[in-house]
């Protein structure tokens, strides 16, 4: 593949290491972010910083955006950011933000109306995955666009899934994360119940991990301090995936449920529990700290 | 190991195939059940039927009980069944019923006071596992008793776990099943939300199965008809693990939570949802049919 | 007060009887609705029907809108309906639709920017209250506008509350209805639990009505058939406030909760329970039928 | 009515003022409690303290018990307390403890088998009501026994309800308190949602109190500090009905639900929320402090 010019919009905790991996992969990266320090770091690594979204995208073959929420995406693409108004004809637009599926569809529709190729490609894997280039991308868009985006995404991630049409990347992401929240709370309840009834949490986790209760939380990201090394629960729930971000993703899931008249009893309860946990002071802790919210250590 | 005399009490859907596997394993099995037909089947296979618990256990080196609920276990061991009053000195007692941990501890305590060895060894794996001899046993009792019970249990099952002291087998079982109920409902919600937002359930299940939302339900026992072959959802939710039995196990979990002042927000909600689903007519369907309760097909 | 010209937009189940009460109150009412039959009924009573929103509002001193949801209100006021573009200078705009508080604020802001007075004035009391002219209005807007709107609202309702600034009418309405949903389900659970434990539901309802559990549902709108006369539960849950409408109002509450990062554990669960109840076929039944969803009669 | 000899067992926070009111009412009260100080206070007021349950009940025409939980009641009546073995022939036994309906029925049955009249008569109204003699009693037992107990209960309370047969007093009490917990949390959610959306909580509470959301919590025991005087929320949630006691009553409700296969989705969730709130350090605060658990002040 020829070396493309890539514009990267949004050099936050996730975006910056992703952009750096594109530079490392040999791409010519032109980036924009309000944070001058982040731009400087990218420039030090060989990228180029510019003063506006318009400037960043003007010559780009591929545009990658990594923004905090739906309104930011709307603003950058359709509003004051003027991305759609400024991008090069035929550019491939990749939005890796986690946003409402309806907004993803709307932006993609407007992009296509102006002749752009666009996919939604939200990620999972956290800051660690972004740095290591091992993110998972879940892509919404046509099969052809999926294939077109894949080589770029592969520079930043390891698993690249095709979920379906535009918006499907977002849908799959929020379905996955809602389920993750549910089994993380469920795992915490099960371990807590075992503890209260005299069981060793390590032994209990081992048994569940080999039985029908098994899930990603109990097997790889155990919420109980001391059961596993190198997970947030064993370092005071520092690092990892913040309670506030999980609450945000759950909010997207519930909005998608409301707008499609879908019942999500456990998903809705998980949303309230994470919100309460955040309000009680845990918003920056890893989401596995929900165990602590069930019972004070 | 020398051929022991084994008494088997309770030839129900689970107990009968378990007892048959002991016969197949070369044991001399003397069984008791009110159901004459079940006793006859065991006799046809080489076992022996008797008219009372007392008679069954009188000469047995090992006693296995497989009963529906806590009161039945109390009745058989301590009440009219007179098991503890009739068993041979030094016999090993194995209760494979799924019952309240407190009752398991109480019965074990009385058994030990009378000089018996006793373990709780509840199973998972369903009727299919009982027939195939591939059950999972989760054993509560000393390490020594675990080793003593293992050869017998191995004739009926494949995975034999040691959970801890007496009662721990029951605790681990109900913790596992509570978590199973939670991720089954959560998986159903996620797939349902994906469907409502236009996703292919098979594609969504594949992505989740390789992502952080993964769990036993989505990977091996998918609740959405058509996603997997050979699971209850693809045969009208027939067979499998009945809603009523899941509701029973959840009830045991909630009782254990109440008696230890433990919060189980998702576990409690799962209990009510399975109870309501049963009341609406689904008590005999497989528990993955909870997807249907979220949204009429 | 001089006879004003009133424009009425939206002659649905609620809007039509409200408009008729304005006619009865001596007002000159010009109405618009897509439903020709409803317009005809208004004309028969002395009102006037027109072919567009613009035409309806052109000469009106007061405009009342009664529309199904947020998008309809946006469309009529700001979009193709051109209400703000067509209304008479200085007209008082009253939106009695139940919609998202954020949308109510946005529309009011645009109305004020164009020199209109505007209040949100959602109602409770149902079709019966609309016909009898005994609705409750909960008004959002300045004190002065509240006083200005009151004489008009008094022709259609009995209790007129001032909740606060623009949008506060909507906020108070959805807070009230969320709480209503919660104590209706709670009341149903309590009665159901009493029944299952052998109590007479009438006796139980009487005791609760005089004790700390008392609430509007148990005292005036008992969900258990046979406890009270003249409530939906005693006529097969026909009439009253439909499950689907309660689900809609709960959706607005949850959206407002998500957008302000507010936890609503019971409100969220009530939302899912009403949604599931609707999906199982009860969407048009009265919302007190949730008792049936707990346990099949 | 002639002056009866009354035995009073259990001079705790509730029992002591209740016994004092019996003394004030002209009854001859003989009391037993492990707490010597409480006994001394009763003696100072004109009662008599004794060293055992047996001694207390030996000459009593009426026995009143006020004990913390089911096991205490079983111990006093059937176990080491020997109440049934020691009481005077034909005595009327009144148990005012809040306990499991099944235990109430069991004890009543054994009492009746020994020729005693027995009713369950749990109370509401708290320590304040006990002191003022304004408690509510909810009585389970025959109509005749209800009439027989009423004059005694009237010395300690104001509202005396007849709920039904033995155990029905307990059933009605726990149904009421489950509903109370639900609308207290619901009211807290509604006020919290209003606050987050800019509403004045006093104004919102007024509107709800006159609308369909109204209930005992919002009208008389508002959980939001500053809305009402003389309620726990306006004195730091001190005094009132402790979170731990509400959690206990909810536990009784859920046990009764499990044993009768009854779904209580909101009741179950309320149970977990109060348990979590207690675990986070609020067990001795008034139960209206659940508002604080939703959002840190």
Summarised one tens digit per residue, pLDDT across range D83-129 is 999 999 999 999 999 999 999 999 999 999 999 999 999 999 888 89
Three-class secondary structure of residue C264 per DSSP? coil
pLDDT of residue B1: 46
Closest CB to A263 among C258, C265, C275:
C275
Residues C220, C234: Cα–Cα separation, whole Å? 13
Neighbouring subunits of B (3+ Cβ pairs under 8 A): A, C, D
Q: D212 pLDDT exceeds 90?
A: yes
Summarised one tens digit per residue, pLDDT across range D255-276 is 999 999 999 999 999 999 999 9
Q: A1 pLDDT exceeds 70?
A: no
Residues with Cβ < 8 Å from C189, sequence gap 6 or more? C294, D178, D179, D182, D263, D264, D265, D266, D267
Q: C2 pLDDT exceeds 80?
A: no
Residues C190, B254: Cα–Cα separation, whole Å? 19
* Proportion of chain C above pLDDT 70, given as a percent: 99
Summarised one tens digit per residue, pLDDT across range C168-217 is 999 999 999 999 999 999 999 999 999 999 999 999 999 999 999 999 99
Residues A268, A262: Cα–Cα separation, whole Å? 11
Residues C206, D284: Cα–Cα separation, whole Å? 31
Handedness of CA C120, C125, C129, C133 (dihedral sign): negative
Neighbouring subunits of C (3+ Cβ pairs under 8 A): A, B, D
Q: A75 pLDDT exceeds 80?
A: yes
Which is nearest to A247 in space by CA: A263, A270, A266?
A: A270
- What pLDDT tens digit does each residue of chain B (297 aa) get? 456 899 999 999 999 999 999 999 999 999 999 999 999 999 999 999 999 999 999 999 999 999 999 999 999 999 999 999 999 999 999 999 999 999 999 999 999 999 999 999 999 988 889 999 999 999 999 999 999 999 999 999 999 999 999 999 999 999 999 999 999 999 999 999 999 999 999 999 999 999 999 999 999 999 999 999 999 999 999 988 999 999 999 999 999 999 999 999 999 999 999 999 999 999 999 999 999 999 875
User: Is the minimum CB–CB distance between D179 and chain C shorter than 8 Å?
Assistant: yes
pLDDT of residue D1: 47
Summarised one tens digit per residue, pLDDT across range D130-164 is 999 999 999 999 999 999 999 999 999 999 999 99
Q: Which long-range contacts (CB under 8 A, 24 or more apart) does A126-134 make?
A: A126/A14, A126/A240, A126/A241, A127/A13, A127/A14, A127/A17, A128/A239, A129/A157, A130/A13, A130/A14, A130/A17, A130/A18, A130/A21, A130/A156, A131/A17, A133/A21, A133/A24, A133/A157, A133/A158, A134/A158
pLDDT of residue D232: 96
Other beta carbons less than 10 A from residue D50's beta carbon = 16
Helices then strands, counting H and E runs in chain A, come out as 14, 9
Which is nearest to B169 in space by CA: B131, B206, B132, B141?
A: B141
Summarised one tens digit per residue, pLDDT across range A121-139 is 999 988 889 999 999 999 9
Interface test with A, best of C99, C185, C268 (most A CBs within 10 A): C268
pLDDT of residue D297: 56
Are A280 and D294 inside 8 Å of each other by CB? no
* Proportion of chain C above pLDDT 90, given as a percent: 96
| Active site annotation includes B173 | yes
As given in the structure block, the two tokens for residue A72 are 């930011």
User: Residues C134, C125: contact at Cβ < 8 Å?
Assistant: yes
User: What would the mean pLDDT of A33-44 be, rounded to a whole number?
Assistant: 96
Beta-carbon pairs below 8 A across chains A and D? 21
Which is nearest to A189 in space by CA: B105, D242, D188, D268?
A: D268
User: Is the minimum CB–CB distance between A280 and chain D shorter than 8 Å?
Assistant: yes
User: CA B68, B72, B76 angle in degrees (round to 5)?
Assistant: 125
Band (A162; pLDDT cuts 50, 70, 90)? very high
Q: D3 pLDDT exceeds 70?
A: no
Cβ-based contacts of C254 with chain A (< 8 Å):
254, 258, 268
pLDDT of residue C3: 62
Band (C134; pLDDT cuts 50, 70, 90)? very high
pTM of the model: 0.96
C135 - beta bridge partners?
Answer: C157
Smallest CA–CA distance, residue A260 to chain C, in Å, is: 11
User: What would the mean pLDDT of D60-77 be, rounded to a whole number?
Assistant: 97
Residues C173, C167: Cα–Cα separation, whole Å? 10
User: Is the minimum CB–CB distance between C69 and chain D shorter than 8 Å?
Assistant: no
- Residues of C belonging to the active site: 173
As given in the structure block, the two tokens for residue D150 are 């009423």
Smallest CA–CA distance, residue C236 to chain B, in Å, is: 18
Neighbouring subunits of A (3+ Cβ pairs under 8 A): B, C, D
**How far does Cα A110 stand from its chain's mean position?**
23
For every residue of C91-157, DSSP letters joined together read -EEEE-S---HHHHHHHHHHHHHTT-EEEE--EESHHHHHHHT-EEEEEES-HHHHHHHHHHHHTTE
Smallest CA–CA distance, residue D61 to chain B, in Å, is: 36
Are C275 and A268 inside 8 Å of each other by CB? no
- Searching chain D, which residue's CA lies closest to the CA of residue B261? D275
User: What would the mean pLDDT of C262-270 be, rounded to a whole number?
Assistant: 98
As given in the structure block, the two tokens for residue C113 are 């920017």
Closest CB to B264 among D261, D272, D279:
D272
ipTM comes to: 0.95
Are A214 and B218 inside 8 Å of each other by CB? no
Handedness of CA A196, A199, A202, A205 (dihedral sign): negative
Residues C269, C178: Cα–Cα separation, whole Å? 11
Smallest CA–CA distance, residue A241 to chain B, in Å, is: 12
Other beta carbons less than 10 A from residue B284's beta carbon = 13
Summarised one tens digit per residue, pLDDT across range D226-240 is 999 999 999 999 989
Which is nearest to B18 in space by CA: B146, B136, B185, B172?
A: B136
pLDDT of residue B2: 57
Residues with Cβ < 8 Å from C156, sequence gap 6 or more? C18, C21, C22, C130, C133, C135, C137
| N- to C-terminal Cα separation, chain C | 54
- Searching chain C, which residue's CA lies closest to the CA of residue D183? C183
């Amino acid at each position: 593949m020829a070396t493309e010019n890539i514009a990267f919009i949004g050099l936050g905790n996730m975006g910056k290491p992703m952009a750096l991996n594109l530079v490392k992969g040999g791409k010519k990266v032109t980036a924009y972010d309000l944070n001058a320090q982040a731009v400087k770091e990218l420039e030090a690594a060989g990228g180029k910083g510019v003063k506006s979204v318009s400037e960043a995208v003007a010559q780009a073959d591929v545009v990658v955006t990594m923004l905090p929420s739906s309104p930011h995406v709307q603003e950058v693409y359709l509003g004051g950011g003027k991305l759609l108004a400024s991008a090069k004809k035929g550019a491939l637009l990749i939005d890796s933000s986690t946003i409402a599926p309806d907004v993803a569809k709307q932006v993609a529709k407007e992009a296509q109306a102006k002749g752009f190729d666009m996919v939604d490609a939200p990620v999972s894997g956290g800051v660690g995955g972004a740095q290591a280039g091992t993110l998972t991308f879940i892509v919404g868009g046509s099969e052809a666009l999926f294939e077109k985006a894949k080589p770029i995404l592969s520079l930043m991630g390891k698993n690249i899934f095709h979920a379906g049409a535009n918006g499907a990347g977002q849908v799959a992401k929020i379905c996955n994360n809602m389920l993750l929240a549910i089994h993380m709370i469920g795992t915490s309840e099960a371990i807590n119940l075992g503890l209260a009834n005299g069981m060793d949490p390590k032994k209990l986790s081992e048994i569940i991990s080999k039985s029908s209760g098994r899930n990603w939380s109990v097997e790889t990201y155990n919420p109980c301090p001391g059961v596993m090394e190198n997970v947030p629960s064993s370092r005071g729930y520092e690092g990892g995936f913040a309670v506030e971000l999980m609450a945000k993703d759950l909010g997207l899931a519930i909005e998608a449920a409301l707008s499609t008249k879908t019942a999500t009893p456990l998903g809705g309860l998980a949303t309230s529990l994470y919100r309460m946990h955040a309000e009680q002071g845990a918003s920056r802790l890893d989401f596995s700290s929900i165990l602590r919210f069930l019972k004070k250590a």
